[in-house]
Copies of this chain bind each other. A is one copy, B any other.
Amino acid sequence: MTLDAVLARVDADLDAAMERLMTLLRVPSISTDPAYDGDVAKAAQILADDLNELGFDASVRETTGHPMVVAHGNDEGPHVLFYGHYDVQPVDPLDLWNRDPFDPVIEEQNGKPVIRARGASDDKGQLMTFIEACRAWKAVTGKLPAKVTIFLEGEEESGSPSLVPFMEAHADELKAEVAFICDTGLFAEGVPAIVTQLRGMMKEELTITGPSIDLHSGMFGGIAMNPIRVLSGILAGLHDEKGAVTVPGFYDDVPEISDALRESWNKLNFDAQAFLAPVGLSAPAGEAGRTPLEMIWSRPTAEVNGIWGGYTGAGFKTVLPSQAHAKVSFRLVAGQDPARLHDNFKAWVEAQLPPDCTASFAPAIGSPASQMDTSHPVFETTLKALSDEWPGDAAFIGCGGSIPVAGYFKEILGMDSVLAGFGKDDDAIHSPNEKYDVESFHRGIRSWARVLGGLAQG
């Protein structure tokens, strides 16, 4: 059988594949820091060269920011788009790294081999799993079992400023039946997953102003309204005693998950204690009556991400400040409109202001939640391929975070995305000593090889 030969080729080529990944990992493609602009461009060129060598029609495309890499495989079959990003996070604090973040090495961690370097997991290692799967198919059969377009971004870690304009300008070239995004993780050790719902986000920055200038609390303490007190009162009331968000209308259009999805999530036997213990927590602190997976995947939330006001340095200054500030973000689910939430939040805050206090709001930044339509057969194909490769069965899961590109694919290109990846919770992405399990890399390549094989039959 062809697939067996392809998988055998993946196994035989693993060391060489790791070498190729390391070549990419040696390039410090930190997109947020202009000092590394040349390295970001270099990483793009390495990928385009590699893809051209593989038989793709690949090129580096300039943008007003960092370049995109677009590669077309002119093979036959269903058309799919693969997305990954070749830029990486900064490495600060460098002194917490045990070695040079851009000198990749294979080493043991918890008794298993890992690839250690910045970007090993996020996202160079992950994107290379797909390219290596294509390489194995090409090596064995001389072609790909599907029409594959590869789209690699160099600005994912710096806000993707060029992504939407580029997608709009090249919609015809990028549009496919479905997209694959390899930037997520396993559900648990040995258990793969496809993320089918992603929460959206609404970010609010709020300033409460009381007195026009900072006051001395000796002179004015007791008679003047303190904006920290006002802000604390507002934020303390953001959740009710059952953990529900109190902004009017917040839950108006929030759907319950389907019975099927609920059943499938229940089967995951998510261990909230095991999830919380590594970060020093024991009790799920979300909405009463909701399962832990609902709390992080399907229920909207409100969090205060930052608060500041008055004197915050060493020692004491008995100031009664003029202003107090908070950054509040809402994780949104399908059905919630960021703009309407902003209006409701603003009105809710203003209704609570005592005399002499005003509230101002920074321009709010919002993106709606994504909910994939899983009816395209590629979802089932991928689920089966992943289940065949890994010890555990794959499941459709939710994701608490936001992956904006999935929303843009839907909005601009009308494609649903299959979000499948092989990262682990302890990969330390965005942190010192990032790693990617060799098993993730190896089984990841084999997973995509199986997916590609499945596409041909689908």
Contact = CB atoms under 8 A, between A and B. Distances in A.
Contact of A308 (B215, B223, B239, B308): B308
Contacts of A355: 282-283, 285
Contact of A329 (B217, B295, B324, B326): B217
Contact of A309 (B217, B282, B285, B307): B307
Interface of A: 199, 201, 203, 205, 210-213, 215-226, 228-229, 231-233, 235-239, 272, 275-276, 279-287, 292, 295-296, 299, 301, 303-312, 316-322, 324-327, 329, 331, 354-356, 365, 399-402
A305 B239 contact: no
A220 B282 contact: no
Nearest to A215: B279
A65 B232 CA distance: 40
Contact of A280 (B213, B285, B316, B402): B213
Contact of A236 (B201, B210, B219, B237): B237
A271 to B, nearest CB: 12
Contact of A401 (B218, B286, B401): B218
A299 B356 contact: no
Contacts of A309: 304, 306-308
Most chain B Cβ neighbours within 10 Å, of A283, A354, A402: A283
B225 A331 contact: no
Given A211-B281, A365-B316, A223 B306 contact: no
B224 A281 contact: yes
A121 to B, nearest CB: 15
A400 B331 contact: no
A199 B222 CA distance: 12
18 contacts: A211-B280, A212-B279, A219-B296, A220-B400, A222-B295, A228-B307, A229-B239, A280-B356, A283-B355, A285-B356, A303-B318, A305-B317, A305-B321, A308-B309, A311-B327, A312-B325, A312-B327, A316-B327
A229 B296 contact: no
Given A218-B401, A223-B272, A280-B211, A317 B306 contact: yes
A289 to B, nearest CB: 13
Nearest to A320: B303
A307 B304 contact: no
Given A213-B279, A226-B304, 12 more contacts: A212-B280, A217-B305, A217-B400, A222-B295, A222-B299, A222-B303, A225-B281, A232-B236, A282-B355, A303-B318, A303-B320, A305-B321
A211 B279 CA distance: 5
B218 A400 contact: yes
